[in-house]
Amino acid sequence: MPTIQIRTEIPGPKSRALMARREAAVPRGPAHATPIFAARAEGAVIEDVDGNRYIDFAGGIGCLNFGHRAPRVLSAVRDQLDKFLHVCFSVTPYESYIAVAEKLNALTPGRFAKKTLLVNSGAEAVENAIKIARAFTKRSAVICFEDAFHGRTLLAMSLTSKTHPYKAGFEPFASDVYRIPFAYPYRNAPGTSAEEFAHLLEDAFKRVVAAESVAAVIVEPVLGEGGFIVPPKDYYRLLQEICRKHGILFIADEVQSGIGRTGKWFASEHFGIEPDLITSAKSLGGGFPLAAVTGRAEIMDASGIGSLGGTFGGNPVSCAAALAALETIEKDGLLARSIAIGKRFEERARAWQRKWPLIGEVRGLGGMCAVELVRDTQTREPADTETKEIARFCYEHGLITITAGTLNNVMRILVPLVVTDEQFDEGLGVLEAAIAAVAERKHAAMSHA
């Protein structure tokens, strides 16, 4: 049976009926990238309620690096179901929470003593990382970046850059948050060096907020929602040096880039840095909600007993799934697979770029890869409606994708790393057909004008 199999028009009748119920019962706030409803999933393939099959390039937004229903995860979860579901780590602790903490303490970069706090979501991890940094430094200001995404809760949203749809109407934001430009060479002064970009931080200490008031700088090593932007190699080393000089903590938000996505456990490793605190989530939980803050032991212990945590943080089922997910990435060679996926994507995407000026930039780190789409390679006008059309073409032809970018013009790949070469090529074939349809229609329209 081929991986892609379309039985009905998309969306099919069952998905359409569910969408009508969704519209009546669920607010508009939570968006959906596709109008199709999932029935089951396996590996890198999703089947919808109408029996249509899709290759999944989204992985639930990067939460399934080890694949849908990874066998080790299923078996660990079944074992846990037979023992206990929830007792609350703050009431009756259990071993699996400690085992996840030990594992993250060992896997995160930095050869120093570490401790890990478990929570429920990426936003909660970000909130806690800032709380911990403030408690340790006894300072309040936080510096974040343009094009960053850190979540939707009050402080995380305040750290997030993009106004629509994430911030508009939700003012006032949390105070003492300051934003500087990110090293995004394609758009922010092309040709700017890592040193010049890093210097913007020193400059902010003169113009925006005094260094001695700053608790932490928080940054995604590869910007996720902001468009899979990879800064120059030396950028973070330079930023971290500046932070150290001023007693400021360096927090790497690895919610999207961590847990093997870029071909290393954490993207920070590609840049040779050792962040003071690292947040992880998404693929950490094996498909269940789980997030973490991992950091230097003395920093993590700065806040008092009872100051951190929450009812469900480090839920036993999530912990069991997490341990099995991490084992799967390790034993099944998924870090190397991520690098191979990145290479396969890059080769194909470079050929698209040679053919169609719609592809402005091809970029990525391992299996965290993307293309940025533009109307004109000179002006770099963002091709946002075209990006939307491409995503639509994809799901109508059996490929689930998600877009990204502050300017809504990036197609990003977060495919489960267990995808086979055949499935990946098939998915890339659909993406290529989508880009071709949009690029050639634009070309035809221009030649008739």
Ligand X SMILES: Cc1ncc(COP(=O)(O)O)c(C=O)c1O
Report 109-128 residues binding ligand X (CB under 6 A): 121-123, 126
Q: Where does this chain touch ligand X (CB under 6 A) — which range of 51-59, 143-151, 211-219, 335-343?
A: 143-151
CB closer to ligand X, 15 vs 315: 315
Q: Where does this chain touch ligand X (CB under 6 A) — which range of 70-78, 100-108, 148-156, 329-337?
A: 148-156
Output the smallest distance, CB 138 to ligand X, in A. 25
Binding mask 234-253 for ligand X (x = CB under 6 A): -------------------x
Secondary structure of 389-422 as H, E, C letters: HHHHHHHHCCEECEEECCCCCEEEECCCCCCCHH
CB closer to ligand X, 10 vs 404: 404
* Cβ atoms 417, 339 nearer than 8 A: no
CB closer to ligand X, 109 vs 224: 224
CB closer to ligand X, 28 vs 448: 28
Output the smallest distance, CB 150 to ligand X, in A. 5
Output the smallest distance, CB 443 to ligand X, in A. 35
Question: 118: which DSSP letter?
Answer: E
Output the smallest distance, CB 266 to ligand X, in A. 12
What whole-number distance in Å separates Cα of residue 132 and Cα of residue 143?
15
**Euclidean distance between the first and final Cα of the chain, in Å?**
45
Binding mask 381-420 for ligand X (x = CB under 6 A): ----------------------------------------
* Cβ atoms 70, 34 nearer than 8 A: no
Residue 149 as a binder of ligand X (CB under 6 A): the answer is yes
Report 278-297 residues binding ligand X (CB under 6 A): 281
Residue 225 as a binder of ligand X (CB under 6 A): the answer is yes
The residue with its CB nearest to ligand X is 122
In angstroms, the Cα distances linking 321 to 22, 61, 291, 316 are 29, 18, 12, 9
- Among 201, 211, 252, 255, contact with ligand X (rule: CB under 6 A): 255
Q: Could you tell me the two tokens for 436?
A: 């071709």
CB closer to ligand X, 326 vs 402: 402
Question: 23: which DSSP letter?
Answer: H
In angstroms, the Cα distances linking 176 to 23, 299, 316 are 38, 20, 36
Output the smallest distance, CB 6 to ligand X, in A. 29
Q: Where does this chain touch ligand X (CB under 6 A) — which range of 21-29, 103-111, 146-154, 302-310?
A: 146-154
- Among 11, 67, 221, 224, contact with ligand X (rule: CB under 6 A): 224
CB closer to ligand X, 56 vs 225: 225
What whole-number distance in Å separates Cα of residue 381 and Cα of residue 363?
18
270: amino acid identity, one letter = H
Output the smallest distance, CB 363 to ligand X, in A. 17
* Cβ atoms 62, 414 nearer than 8 A: yes
Long-range contact list for 88-95, CB < 8 A, 24+ apart?
Answer: 88/311, 88/312, 89/118, 89/309, 89/313, 89/314, 90/309, 90/311, 94/316, 94/319
What whole-number distance in Å separates Cα of residue 147 and Cα of residue 162?
6
What whole-number distance in Å separates Cα of residue 314 and Cα of residue 26?
28
The size of the chain, in residues, is 449
Mapping DSSP to helix (H, G, I), strand (E, B) and coil, where does residue 25 land?
A: helix
Output the smallest distance, CB 282 to ligand X, in A. 7
Binding mask 59-78 for ligand X (x = CB under 6 A): --x-----------------
- Among 151, 287, 314, 360, contact with ligand X (rule: CB under 6 A): 151
CA 224, distance to chain mean position in Å, is: 5
Q: Could you tell me the two tokens for 390?
A: 């491409």
Q: Which parts of this chain interact with ligand X (CB under 6 A)?
A: 61, 121-123, 126, 149-151, 220, 224-225, 253, 255-256, 281
